[in-house]
Amino acid sequence: MHATALRFMGWGVVVSLGLTGCEGGVHSASADEYASTRTQLQSGTLTLGKGTSVDFSGYGYSEHCHVPQAVLTQLGSGVGRQLRVRMGSGAALQEGLCTVTRATDGGTVVMHGEGISRLDMAEDAGVVLSAMHGAASDRNGVTWHAPTDTEATLNNMQVTKPNDVIERLADDGQNDTLIYTAPHGGNIEMKTSDQVELIAPVATSKVSTWRVKGWHSSSGDAKNHWHITSTDFNEHSFPSLGAVMGRDFRYAVSFHGYKDDPELPIDILVGGREDLVFREGVAEVLDDALRGSNLVVEPDPPTFKGNEESNFINRLAKDRKGLQLEQSATARNGYSTAIANAVKAHYTCLIDTTAEDTLTVSGAAAQGHSDGIVYHGTGCTMYAADVTVTARPVTTTYSVTASTPLAGLSQEDCAKTEWYLSLYRWSQTAGRYHRVGGTRGKGAYVSGACQPVFKDSTYGAVTFQAPLGAAPADTYRAVAWARRYTTTTNYTALPVSVNVGP
């Protein structure tokens, strides 16, 4: 049975464990603490101090905090984990998250000045720290909901307390194929969790989702209060993340957002530790989905690379090969649905599509043909052909291209005709596909007839070598489409063929 876990990263039955001189004891939850199954540990009141740039450096420094070791011990926390910080109460209440980067001997919680400002707090103010995990005896504070609980139902639970952050996991407990994530959902990085929930509204045997969603009464402040840098996420502080960490997903994707920046004239950065050629394939699918938008997609990002092994999306993925999708505000505000659906289609081609043709290549050429344009109505939206390549006694190089009928086309229709192919090789060890390359063609009217040419100088046939000697056969998946574009964005799907030959 699939389940959706909903975790409020915060209040419930409170155990106050202060330092010497701080008030202690067990207290009941206050009236607005509305998920009674949650428990957490809370410190006594501590002084908030300001550190220097020497104490705080590196990416995400404004999210970091130094905490007395005695408090960390009492909260069951430690360096590298996240804590919730609270100042004030009632209308003056301010809350946020910080990542512990140092355990101290003193009695003061220390942040960089920017960190204090980020949380709308004040130097020398009294703050209370709380652990983001529950007692070990209560399933870490998880509240489980039936699959019939929709995202709308769960979102309605936020109405009475909009300044909050929650963690959500949709997972069948076993899937290790694909996980979509949005670590900065809700109003932290707008529309990113919406994208995940659009393309994967429920867990399946092949797809899981994990999201952190934060809200604030001033929507622009949600990022300041609840954002945790992707390299800092700790599964002990986010136990739903911990429930899937270590699965070694074959594919792992995280959706992110950033502000428009005139010095960064790129709208979508396809990063992570996935191989560049794989990221190029994702970028090409996005380019096709966004024709006419003027959005720039970059598979080799100059920034927001997401290629650190410590990035949670890479830790979720087998061989540390996750994919991080960074999107500008313009991209998310105008094209979030198109982007999400394009990503879904790309992965559907690899995990959820039955090939129309199965080809065996053993020295001679082979060709597969789509069943008209049936492929266009599938989740993949591309024709798929699985190709088994047997070993050859000598080194043999094969080339793969796509094609569509061109005979008899007018010059106008010829110029509007295009086709695309992407080739993936199956890895038995990794249990997934790795991309080999892609190619694009178009019609060119030459000497009174429509002829196939590569779309530009960057494209050619995709090539690979057959196994040699007694080696086992290799398996490939080719996905392809053919289209006649009536306008920049509108097209008619066409039959397409995949051609494999020495």
- Tens digits of per-residue pLDDT, 348-406? 999 999 999 999 999 899 999 999 999 999 999 999 999 999 999 999 999 999 999 99
Q: Is the pLDDT of residue 17 over 80?
A: no
Q: What's the average model confidence in pLDDT over 143-152?
A: 49
Residue range 442-467: average pLDDT? 94
Mean pLDDT of the chain: 88
At 19, the pLDDT band (50, 70, 90 cuts) reads very low
Residue 5: pLDDT above 60? no
Question: d(Cα 502, Cα 493) in Å, to the nearest integer?
Answer: 29
pLDDT digits (tens, 9 = 90+) for 27-39: 222 222 223 233 4
Task: Give yes or no for a contact between 355 and 477, defined as CB atoms under 8 angstroms apart.
Answer: yes
Within 8 A by CB and 6+ apart from 410, the residues are: none
pLDDT confidence band for 106 (50 / 70 / 90): confident
User: Which tops the pLDDT comparison, 288 or 5?
Assistant: 288
Q: pLDDT at position 370, please?
A: 97
In this prediction, residue 16 has a pLDDT band, given cuts at 50, 70 and 90, of: very low
**pLDDT confidence band for 22 (50 / 70 / 90):** very low
Per residue in 218-261, pLDDT tens? Answer: 756 999 999 999 999 999 999 889 999 999 999 999 999 999 99
d(CA 183, CA 168): 10
Q: What is the mean pLDDT of residues 204-226?
A: 89
pLDDT of residue 150: 62
Residue 420 backbone phi and psi in degrees, to 5: -145, 145
**Every domain of the chain and the residues it spans:** 46-131, 151-351, 357-501
Domain 357-501 in the same topology as domain 46-131: no
d(CA 184, CA 229): 9
From 37-46, 160-169, 226-235, 413-422, the region with the lowest mean pLDDT = 37-46
Question: Bigger pLDDT: 18 or 159?
Answer: 159
- Share of residues in the chain with pLDDT > 70 (%): 86
Q: Which of 47-56, 75-84, 474-483 has the lowest mean pLDDT?
A: 47-56
304-362 tens-digit pLDDT: 999 999 999 999 999 999 999 999 999 999 999 999 999 999 999 999 999 999 999 99
CATH number assigned to the domain covering 151-351 = 3.40.630.100
As given in the structure block, the two tokens for residue 390 are 């047997």
Longest dimension (CA), the chain: 93
| pLDDT for the residue numbered 151 | 64
pLDDT of 11 = 38
Give me the long-range contacts of 194-198 (CB less than 8 A, separation at least 24): 194/336, 195/255, 195/336, 195/337, 195/339, 195/340, 195/343, 196/255, 196/340, 197/151, 198/337, 198/340, 198/341
pLDDT given for residue 40 in this prediction: 57
| pLDDT value for 57 | 85
Residue-level pLDDT at 219: 56
Lowest-confidence region among 3-7, 115-119, 126-130, 335-339: 3-7
* CATH number for domain 357-501, candidates 1.10.3470, 1.20.1530, 2.60.120, 2.60.40: 2.60.120
The contacts of residue 488 (CB under 8 Å, 6+ apart) are 291, 292
Confidence at residue 166, expressed as pLDDT on a 0 to 100 scale: 84
Average pLDDT over residues 113-140: 79
Q: In angstroms, how far is the first alpha carbon of the chain from the final one?
A: 48
Contact residues for 19 (Cβ-Cβ < 8 A; gap 6+): 43, 44, 46, 68, 70, 71, 107
- Give the pairing type, strands 108-112 and 46-51: parallel
SS3 readout for 41-84: EECCCEEEEEECCCCCCCCCHHHEEEEEHHHHHHHCCCCCCEEE
Does pLDDT of 203 surpass 50?
yes
> Quick one: fold of 46-131?
Barwin-like endoglucanases (2.40.40)
